[in-house]
Amino acid sequence: MADVLHVGIAGLGNVGTGVVKLLQQNADLISRRAGRPIVATAVSARDRSRNRGVSLDGIDWVDDAAELATRDNVDVVVELIGGSDGPALTLARRTLAAGKPFVTANKAMLAHHGLELAEAAEKAGLPLKYEAAVAGGIPVIKGVSEGAAANLITRVYGLMNGTCNYILSRMEAERLDFATVLADAQALGFAEADPSFDIDGIDTAHKLSILAALAFGARIDFASVACTGIRAIASADIAQAAALGFRIKLVGLAEVQDGALFQRVHPALVPLDHPVATTMGSLNAVVLEGDFVGRLFFQGRGAGEGPTASAVVADLIDIARSDVRPPFVMPVADLEALPRASAGDRRGRYYLRLNVADRAGVLAELTAALRDTGVSIESLVQRGTSADGGAMVVMVTHEAREEDVLASLDRMAASPSVVGQPVMMHILDF
């Protein structure tokens, strides 16, 4: 049996605690699969006194996380502090500078500084691994970068935020509105006190930008991810979508078309027989499309102590096995800086929902707006909704250019008959 791999862990929240627990509980198994024992030897966290339900006996406690990078009894550093900059980034830089492999679950840091860190790792011939950063316990980083490595990948998409999927699933199952479910999710600890990173799609955008870089051999371009969250979704939308054969999901989608990179996070209508539509509760799912393999679908737990620890320790096992590859499959210098694709030229079907005053001529006004912008309608439902005499109009367009649909929506929104902001959602037709 080869030498022990000594692990320093920065951050002892749920995930850090889970990693310590996993390394202890499955020590035997891990050592047989890794070819050598993997042992936590040092940890760093803010609160030393908290009872975490796991034994830290024999593990050094380090006050300054950055110290893990240079500590003698640490061969590899696991960063679970979070945050795109600050102590996490300092630790990453110092660890690689000290010539040690680095493992992280930090999607925000990778989305912003992944290329810098990957370059440092490459130059030093060190592993920089981050399976836990995207879709938690699901081995999608490995799936995309190794499992599908032979393929020209043209599209990658999925549900990468368990909080959003949980909220949308409960809105549907219990016919509740967004605010009610969010408040309940917060009370239960399934949503953060400040939930905006999750529900506004930023967390999904971080993960998507990492996946897109891997899938397309492109430089990470977080800034170009167009992002719409789930705040505007009404339970009426969910019911209407269901009646039309769809389920609303917060989808992160990246494609390369004509050499340009398209990245978007948005609520989308997914056909009920699509595996993404049947991914419920806090589960995550990732789909990739390759030219030889076709569609590959991965589903599992995207967050939480156990699943995230599982991904972190899988990375440690790869490191113990001396599997060193460029962090983004190919050297950073070979990654392409792809131009941003125009959304306006995209073609697809759209779901439109408008709240309108229930009076004569409204429908004529709406349909004229569509006609004048060249958008044709596949189906239309009008339904009385409120005690004040308002009505709801839901339309599904035939395939149309996105720019034209937006133009028609602008016209409709300007009408005095339309109350509030119209909602437009994409239909996932693949």
User: Which residues are the active-site residues?
Assistant: 207
Binding residue for a second copy (CB under 8 A) from 296, 303, 423, 425? Answer: 296
Binding part of the chain for a second copy, among 75-83, 119-127, 288-296, 366-374 by CB under 8 A, reads 288-296
The most distant pair of C-alpha atoms in the chain lies apart, rounded to whole Å, by 82
**Residue 32 · residue 72 · CB < 8 Å:** no
- Helix, strand or coil, per DSSP, at residue 282: coil
Rounded CA Rg of the chain: 24
CB of 356 to a second copy, least distance (A): 36
**Residue 311 · residue 192 · CB < 8 Å:** no
Distances (CA, A) of 333 to 24, 86, 108, 120, 217: 39, 26, 22, 12, 10
CB of 309 to a second copy, least distance (A): 6
Per DSSP, the residues of 30-58 read HHHHHSS-EEEEEEE-S-SS---SS--TT
Helix (H), strand (E) at residue 274: none
Helix (H), strand (E) at residue 154: strand 153-159
Residues 191-250 binding a second copy (CB under 8 A) are 217
* Token pair recorded at residue 332: 């950073």
Contact pattern for a second copy over residues 324 through 363, marking x by CB under 8 A:
-xx--xx---x-----------------------------
Residues 35-64 binding a second copy (CB under 8 A) are 35
Binding residue for a second copy (CB under 8 A) from 273, 359, 388, 416? Answer: 273
**Residue 251 · residue 158 · CB < 8 Å:** yes
Q: Is 137 in the site for a second copy (CB under 8 A)?
A: yes
Q: Is 115 in the site for a second copy (CB under 8 A)?
A: no
Task: Outline where DSSP puts E strands in 112-152.
Answer: 128-129
Contact pattern for a second copy over residues 140 through 179, marking x by CB under 8 A:
--xx-xxxxxxxx---------------------------
Binding part of the chain for a second copy, among 25-33, 102-110, 161-169, 238-246 by CB under 8 A, reads 25-33
CB of 34 to a second copy, least distance (A): 8
Which residues of the chain form contacts with a second copy (CB under 8 A)?
Answer: 18, 22, 25-26, 29-30, 32-35, 131, 137-139, 142-143, 145-152, 217, 273, 275, 278, 290-301, 306-307, 309-311, 313-314, 316-318, 321, 323, 325-326, 329-330, 334
